Amino acid sequence: MSEADDAPAITRDDDSVTRRSFLGVLLGFGTVVMGAALSVPLIRFALHPLLTKTTEIGWSDIGKTDEFASLTAPAKRLIKVEQRDAWRKIISEKAVYVLPPKDGTMRILSPICPHLGCSIPWNEAKQEFICPCHVAVFAMDGTKISGPAPRSMDALDSKVEDGMLKVRYQYFRQLIPTKEPLS
Is the torsion defined by CA of 48, 94, 67, 143 positive or negative? Answer: negative
Other C-beta atoms closer than 10 Å to the C-beta of 11 total 6
The β-bridge partners of 164 are 64, 161
Distance, in Å, from the CA atom of 65 to the CA atom of 163, rounded to the nearest integer, reads 6
User: DSSP characters for 10-49?
Assistant: P---TTSPPHHHHHHHHHHHHHHHHHHHHHHHHHHHHHHH
Q: For the whole prediction, is pTM greater than 0.75?
A: no
d(CA 115, CA 134): 9
- What ranges in 82-182 are assigned the alpha helix state H? none
Low-confidence ranges of the chain (pLDDT < 70): 1-15, 52-55, 85-87, 183
Query: Are 177 and 151 spatial neighbours (Cβ–Cβ below 8 Å)?
Result: yes
Strand partners, 75: 98
Let me know if 150 is exposed, middle or buried by CB neighbors in 10 A (0-12, 13-18, 19+): middle
> Which pLDDT score is estimated for 96?
97
What does the pLDDT read at residue 9?
A: 60
